[in-house]
Every structure is written in structure tokens, then in C-alpha cells.
Structure 1
Amino acid sequence: MTDDDSARASFPVVTGKAKGYHRAAVDTFLDAARRAFESDDDALTADDVRLASFPMVRDGYAVEDVDAALARVEDAFAARARARAVRREGVENWVAKARADAQVILDHLGRDRRHRFARTGFLTFGYRKDEVDHVTDRIAGFLRDGDELTVEQVRKAAFRMQRGGYREEQVDALLDATVEVMLAVR
């Protein structure tokens, strides 16, 4: 990578042995997101932004910086979707849908600790149950009691692995649904 390449980079570039997000993949995705947002096109949604992933490579973009930018882009798409839905359905219907979605999450989290999600087999790794239960307790407190919790805290939730742990896809789906509810009521 030349100094000229660094000067044109959209985000800080990771150097040395560390890896970052593939620069062209990030730039292409963000260009498409910008075009979709500016054209008021529904080809891209907040969900699409949240689920975006990029290959890890040497001389790639710093992960934290790209993730922060993606969070802002997701917020913008979610705010636009919320404004459209409120205009189309009315604020009462929008709030009722957000409450119903929150109740589905709360119902799931009402299960006993260490039994909230399906588990992997004994020889297979999944998310640590105690760490997931801690985060989901915080989510339940936020949804039920209004306890302090930010969208960013939910987005950045990370768990170590354990044999027989919770199935990753189920936990990730609940975290995504929580982010959607939180963005809906911002």
C-alpha cells in the first residue's frame, strides 16, 4: 500500500500482521448504501446494514471505525423507516407494533436462566450461557422496567465460547430483534 492509498482511504487502515475489513468491499457497500438512501430507494434497509459482513484482510480498514460508521448508517435507515411507517400507519400503530415485538422478546427471556436458547451438542461450541444470560437479563430490564441500555451496548455484545453453549444463530437473532425494537422507539 502506498502513502497515496492511505491518504484516499475512507477509514484508518490496519497495518502489520493485524487484519481489517476488505477496503473495496466496505467502500462498495457504503457507496451502495449512500445511493439507496439519497434516492429514497428501499433496496437497502437497516436490517441489510446490520447484517453486512466483509472479508478480513491485511491492510484492511480498522474494524471498530467501520462498525461505528455502519451503526450510524443503520440508525439513518431505521429512522427513515420509522418516519415512513408513522406517516403511513400513524404513531399509535407504530408504537403498538414496537410493544408487541418487545413482548415477544420478553416472553422468550422469561425462560429460566441457562435454558433460554437451544444448546449445541456437548462436543460443539456455542456462546457461553452465563454471559448470554447476563446480557439478556439487561435487555429484559430495559424492555420491562426501562433500565439503562443503549443500542450500541446490544450491538457490541460479544460472548466467549463453551462446549454445549447456546446456539449462536438464536442468540444473534434475539439481539438483532432487540436492536430493531430499540431503534423503533428512539
Structure 2
Amino acid sequence: MTNDSRDARPAGHSFPRTAGRAKGYQVSAVDEFLGRARAAFESATDADALAAADVRSVSFRLVKRGYQPEAVDAALVRVEDAFAARERDQGMATTGTGAWINQTRDRAQEILDRLTRPPRRRFDRARGLGYGYRIDEVDIVADKIAAYLADGKPVTVEQVRAVAFRMQRRGYRETQVDAVLDAVVDVMLAVG
């Protein structure tokens, strides 16, 4: 039996490693975060519990011989989904299904209000000579998400998670756009 180093999983490691000049996620940071996530998920009373949003926002340093990002990212999506399902179940148990639905509907309406602003004016622009997301690309995605929220047009959480924009001078501010996309994912996961 041969051991191909690109696909091999050394003892104690959860994901395949990168090879050659390719960089991957820092192994110790990934292992530490996933260990913390597991402990938080298994603990019903952990004061330092993580939330689905924490899983979505985690980032890792890129290093040689790190974990392959695609494999880790796929696992993080599953972990985020598990946390979101638990949060949804706990929220409905605590506030009641009707209240949970109303809260989610209110959040969806806030997002819809933002995304239905006039094109090219939905988000603040990067300042000075700074770069931001391409306005035309963000507006196309905003229109699709608005149609999903208002009319139920098909959009999946995977599509929202995977969206990427090119950059342009004086484009939309990345932090604002990213915050709205995160809120869209939260709403989509809240309704299951």
C-alpha cells in the first residue's frame, strides 16, 4: 500500500494536508478551534459557548503543509449548520415558535429594506482611493436575495455562502456587504 502525501492523513489529523508550495490552514489553529467547537456544542450550559456566527467568521493563518482549505471549509459549514439548528431549536423552545418566526421575519424585513434601496446606493462606498466590492456585482446578488426574501425565488444558503465579488476603486464597503450576507445566512438557517 502506497502513501500519497497529498491525500495522506497523518495519525491524529482530521484533514488532508497541502503539498509542495501550496498553503493550507494552520493545523494547530484548526484543531484547537474544532476542539473548542465540539466542547461548546456538547455542553448545554457552557458560558463560553460558540454560536453559528462564530463558526462562520473564524479564519486561520495560511502555512505550508497546512490542512487543505476546501476540506476544512466543508467541515465548518456542517459545524455551522449544527450550531444554527441547535440555536433555532433553543430559540423556539424559549420564546415559542410564533415569537421565533416573528423575530426572523423582522430580521428578514430589515435585510429586504436594505437590499431594495436604489441600485448603486445600497451600501456605503470605500473612502478616498480605497477599493471595495464591485457595485454592479453586489447589486445583482442583492436583487436575487431580495427576490428570495420578498417572493420566495429560489436561493440556497450555499449560494449565499459562496458568493464572491471582484474589487473596484470606490466600490461598496466590504464590511457592510459581508455583514448583510452573514445576516442573510442567519435568517436562512433560522427558518431551516
Structure 2 counterparts to residues 22-37 of structure 1, below 5 A: 22-37=26-41
**Please, which moves more after superposition, 35-44 or 158-167?**
35-44
Residue of 73, 79, 94 corresponding to 2:79: 73
Structure 1 residues 95-152: Cα deviation after superposition (integer angstroms, max 9, x where no partner): 0000000000000011111111000135111111111111111111111111111111
* Cα shift at 1:7: 2.3
* Cα shift at 1:6: 3.5
Cα distance in structure 1, aligned partners of 2:116 and 2:106: 15
Which residue number in structure 2 is paired with residue 162 of structure 1?
Answer: 168
Q: Which runs of 5+ in 1 are unaligned?
A: none
Cα distance in structure 1, aligned partners of 2:154 and 2:136: 20
Please give the secondary structure, in 1, of the residue aligned with 2:63: strand
Q: Which runs of 5+ in 2 are unaligned?
A: none
Percent of counterpart pairs with the same letter? 57
Greater share of residues in helix: 1
**Please, which moves more after superposition, 137-146 or 165-174?**
137-146
**In the alignment, structure 1 residue 7 sits paired with structure 2 residue 27:** no
Residue of 95, 102, 108 corresponding to 1:96: 102
Structure 1 residues 140-174: Cα deviation after superposition (integer angstroms, max 9, x where no partner): 11111111111111111111111010000000000
Cα distance in structure 2, aligned partners of 1:126 and 1:140: 21
Cα distance in structure 2, aligned partners of 1:171 and 1:70: 21
Q: Which runs of 4+ in 1 moved over 3 A?
A: none
Q: Is the 8 A contact 2:128 2:170 kept in 1?
A: yes
Amino acid paired to 1:144: A
Normalising to structure 1: TM-score of the pair?
Answer: 0.94
Which residue number in structure 2 is paired with residue 144 of structure 1?
Answer: 150
Please give the secondary structure, in 1, of the residue aligned with 2:183: helix
Cα distance in structure 2, aligned partners of 1:104 and 1:57: 39
* Cα shift at 1:14: 1.2
Cα distance in structure 2, aligned partners of 1:139 and 1:159: 15
Structure 1 residues 40-72: Cα deviation after superposition (integer angstroms, max 9, x where no partner): 235211111111111011111111111111111
Normalising to structure 2: TM-score of the pair?
Answer: 0.91
The size of the alignment, in residue pairs, is 184
Cα distance in structure 2, aligned partners of 1:86 and 1:28: 31
Which residue number in structure 2 is paired with residue 17 of structure 1?
Answer: 21
Taking only aligned residues, the RMSD between alpha carbons, in angstroms, comes to: 1.5
**In the alignment, structure 1 residue 107 sits paired with structure 2 residue 110:** no
Cα distance in structure 2, aligned partners of 1:123 and 1:33: 40
Structure 2 counterparts to residues 120-131 of structure 1, below 5 A: 120-131=126-137
Please give the secondary structure, in 1, of the residue aligned with 2:10: helix
